[in-house]
Amino acid sequence: MELENKTVIVTGASSGIGAAAALLFAAEGADVVLGARRSANLETLAGTIRRGNGRAAFLAGDVKDEGYADALVDLAMREFGKLDAAFNNAGIVGEMGPIPDMGTSNWNDVLSVNLTAAFLAAKAQIPPMKEQGGGSIVFTSSFVGFSNGGMPGMGAYAASKAGLIGLARSLASDHAADGIRVNALLPGGTVTPAGGEGNPDVLEFIANLHPMKRMASAKEIAQAALFLLSDRSSFVTGSPMIADGGISVRLT
- For 204, list phi and psi in degrees, rounded to 5: -65, -40
Taking the chain, what is the end-to-end CA distance rounded to the nearest angstrom? 37
Q: Give yes or no: 68 in active site.
A: no
Strands 135-140 and 180-187: parallel
Query: 187, 223 in Cβ contact below 8 A?
Result: no
Q: How far apart are CA 30 and CA 38, in angstroms?
A: 22
Q: Which of 25, 157, 158, 243 is catalytic?
A: 157
Separation between Cα atoms, residue 192 and residue 199, nearest integer Å: 11
Q: Which residues are catalytic?
A: 157
